[in-house]
Structure 1
Amino acid sequence: MSLPGLPPASDAAKIIADQDDSQTLLQESGKQTLEQAIAKAREEVDRFDNIVLNIAISGESGAGKSSFVNAIRGLKDIDDGAACTGVVQTTRGYSPYPHPTMPNVTLWDLPGTGEPGFKANTYLKNVNFQKYDFFIIVSATRFRENDIMLAKEIQKKKKNFYFVRSKIDIDVQEEAQKGVTEGQTLQAIQRDCEKNLREIKSPHVFLISSRDLNRFDFQKLIETLETDLPENKRQAFVLSLPVYSQQSLEKKYKTFKKSVWALAIGSGAVGGIPVPGLSPAFDVAVVVSFLMKCYYSFGLDDKSLTKLSERVNKPILDMVKESSLVMAIGSNSFLSTKMAARLGAAGAIETACTFVPVAGNIAAAGISFAVTRSVLHEGLDELYRVAQQVLHMAELE
């Protein structure tokens, strides 16, 4: 949600400056002055909506790239929009797979180096190297010479890359039949990968099962990527991940919570503009857009919940429908009506205030800021509570 028609930061600061909420605003923004806080709010809102993240997934045919692309987008291999998987080569070019609910995040399923038209020495040029924020190199067995050559080329160009050893659950199961413990199997695979990649300085190697992201090194991979990504990319990455544990849900909740103050500032600034009806309409649009993002990122949409219900064989969808807010978001027009009613009384007061020069504008801005901030927090907390119940019922805590 962009913030059209906002006054400059200095003017917006004057509008909000006399409000009791200004101290809270400074605390949440981490800035010393209102001008600085409002400038940061603009950056935060832009990041919330417009930051583009492109993730490259490379590896030989059969390595499990497509399954990994699907898993990290919260999809099964059989879902609509999923990357094609199979025992034969499925990636003959480099294929973009937009995130199903966050179109600014795209995973690119790249062919392996050495495949026809994608030789190692020209690979990066052929796949449009500069497009990607980082690379994940996937293998289901040993990393091959071409994988290592690719990593070296990426390293020369000073971009981050990570090795993912896939299908670990299959290895663990097979070794268990021989009496080998899971811990022993994981240690052996890790040592073999590190030995295999000894030509790479300090390689990042993660053991992953795309069938179960809650096991093995997936969380470690996510934490590493979060640390390595610049701040403006980190938020998009966190919000795009599937909810697979309480920890992943908590990160999403905290990320959304950090954006509330910035969206409320936009509401406060518009609230001080003496155009009757502008602020209420803007506030409804801000709240609806924000709650829709929370709804999908928390996995509370019918499609996500149906898949989860089938997976754990429990009626989770029925339980979630007990939340009136979740039901309202499921019908976007109803949500707009619900939020318009929730914000309507404050809007009427704001409109009346704008007819009083200067002081009225200040009062209108303060009302808009406080009310929008409150509604955003309430909605976020309600959806977070429901998502926690979903995790508890699915036993994914």
Structure 2
Amino acid sequence: MGNLFSRKSLEDEVKEALERKDEALAAAKIQVYLEKEKNVPLNIAITGETGSGKSSFVNAIRGVDDDDDEEAAPTGVIETTKEATPYLHPNFTNVKLWDLPGVGSLKYQAAEYLKKVGFERFDFFIIISSERFSENDVKLAKEIQRMGKKFYFVRSKTDQDMDNGKRKRGFGEARILGQIKNNCTQGLQDQGFQSPQVFLVSSHKPHLYDFPDLLRTLERELPEHKKNAFLLAMPNTSQEMIDRKKEAFQSKIKYVATLSAAVAAVPVPGLSVAVDLALLVGVVTRYVFAFGLNISSLKRVSKYSGVPYEKLRELIVSPLAATKITSELLVRVISQTAVLVGLMAAEEGSRLVPILGIPASMALSFTFTYKALNFFLDVLTDDAKRVLQKVLS
């Protein structure tokens, strides 16, 4: 974490600044850290044969609809992607998914293809097929491996296979999934891969099949400073995913609270509370987007799960979900929580105490922000879990 900036950890730098009574420097270091951490770039390449479902997968990861969202990557049975095209995540714009041209649509060798699409800018590659992986897929994977980057085989359109299988006698989901995976794995082994791992997914039902396992694998194998960027942008596919997001957010709360305390050292009445609320608005908005509790995310979940949007809204307890986060909204929520109201009042009152007022105000500001963010995080986590449980039921 600290090595985003220097060999010395962020905690040490902030501690040293505060020990020298340099609250402004401590606040500046934390602000730089939070901004840099929020803007860590992540570039994910999606490739495969024409018609394999690359664009639909790009849309699924980004939480946008194939048909109804103007930000969606265009989909179709013919090749719709002529060159490497970046698509920003709508809520986390530091995350880009690149829809690459179909590997069979260009008359290039694998190395030349990778050079043409800009190999170096990508953090990892996802190679998608809707059937067996082709010779072109394998050549591309071997070249990616030779050049020192990771790739993942993803078998798309699994929901269509399940629908087709239901029409056959003796249908069994586990049996059909096993047959598809074995077929893909055997095909890759026949072409020289010793122990290939294949993830079976549906871009229209990302909570099913191997989609959750794929996301866990990608997060686990990313460099440490890229993990949060990936994690927060991904759709909620499991309770574990929601818990991991909560842990990621919790690890940052102490920094936001320390920033709040540093501002409280400025002897201007009302300033600390105003800054605290501005900080909370920004952080809580990220909570809402990451947990998929904003309106557009909930509507997409409603569409792919078949659960009416109104039913999902009924499950949500917190007034922070499915709305715009404002200072006024947070004040209303805080006013219903006695502990937070007391801390906010005590912080402003402490400023009237000679000599000891500022240190007391700093401590109270830290405590207020720390408790408020944990409170908001708890209720939004619970809402996200209720929505997912309904989708999975």
Question: Normalised by the shorter chain, which TM-score bucket?
Answer: 0.7 to 0.9
1:52 — aligned with what? 41
Q: How far did 1:95 drift? A: 1.2
Deviation at residue 99 of structure 1 after TM alignment: 0.8
Matches of 2:326 and 2:103, distance apart in 1: 45
Q: Percent identity?
A: 41
Whether 1:379 aligns to 2:376 is yes
Contact 1:110 1:127 in 2 (8 A): yes
Looking at structure 1, the residues matched to 14 and 391 of structure 2 have their Cα atoms a distance apart, in angstroms, of 49
Deviates more, 1:105-114 or 1:201-210: 201-210
> Residue type matched to 2:225 in 1?
N
Deviations 1:330-364 (A, max 9, x none): 253633665897685355236446x73xx444322
The structural deviation recorded for 1:71 is: 1.1
Displacement of 1:54 in angstroms is 1.0
1:11 equivalenced with 2:12 (yes/no): no
Letter in 2 for 1:193: C
Task: Look up the match of 1:28.
Answer: none
- Alignment gaps of 5+ in structure 2: 1-12, 336-340
Give CA deviations for 1:281-315 in whole Å, capped at 9, x if unaligned.
Answer: 33222111111011112122222233444531362
The reply on whether 1:71 has 2:60 as its aligned counterpart is yes
How many correspondences in the alignment? 368
Residue of structure 1 aligned with 2:281, choices 283, 288, 291: 288
Which shows bigger deviation, 360-369 or 211-220?
Answer: 360-369
The structural deviation recorded for 1:43 is: 8.2
Question: Does residue 328 of structure 2 align to residue 334 of structure 1?
Answer: yes
In 2, the alpha carbon distance for the partners of 1:8 and 1:274 equals 21
- Give distance in 1, aligned partners of 2:171 and 2:245: 37
Paired residue type of 1:368: S
Match of 1:196 among 187, 192, 198: 187
Partner of 1:142: 132
Shift in Å, 1:38: 9.8
Q: Alpha-carbon deviation of 1:395?
A: 3.9
- Give 1:244 deviation, angstroms: 3.2
Equivalent-residue separation in structure 1 for 2:388 and 2:245 (angstroms)? 14
Residue 348 of structure 2 corresponds to residue 348 of structure 1: yes
Q: Is the 8 A contact 1:44 1:259 kept in 2?
A: no
Matches within 5 A, 1:46-195: 46=35, 48-80=37-69, 81-116=71-106, 119-176=109-166, 177-195=168-186
For 2:206, which of 213, 238, 256 is the aligned residue? Answer: 213
SS in 2 for 1:197: helix
Q: d(CA) in 1 for partners of 2:147 and 2:18?
A: 43
Shift, 1:217, TM fit: 1.0
2:212–2:237 CA contact under 8 A, matched in 1: no
Tell me, which stretches of 5 or more residues in structure 1 are unaligned? 1-6, 18-36
Equivalent pair of 2:79/2:102 in contact (CA under 8 Å): no
- CA–CA distance in structure 1, aligned partners of residues 386 and 133 of structure 2: 41
- Quote the Cα distance in structure 2 between the aligned partners of 1:68 and 1:324: 32
Q: How many angstroms does 1:85 deviate by? A: 0.8
Separation (CA, whole Å) in 1 of partners of 2:125 and 2:200: 16
Could you list the per-position Cα deviations for residues 68-103 of structure 1 after superposition, in whole angstroms to 9, with x for gaps in the alignment? 111112222113211111111111111111111111
| Alignment match of 2:392 (pick from 380, 392, 396) | 396
TM-score (norm 2): 0.83
TM-score (norm 1): 0.82
Query: Using a 3 Å threshold, how does the CA distance of structure 1 residues 338 and 128 change in structure 2: closer, same or farther?
Result: farther
Change (3 A) 1:156 1:278: farther
Name the aligned partner's letter for residue 324 of structure 1: P
C-alpha contact 1:12 1:38 (8 A) present in aligned 2: no
Q: Which has the higher contact order (CA 8 A, sep 6+)?
A: 1
CA distance in 1, matches of 2:93, 2:348: 36
**Where does 1:218-257 land on structure 2 (aligned, <5 Å)?**
218-257=211-250
User: Among residues 296, 310, 315, which one is paired with 2:310 in the alignment?
Assistant: 315
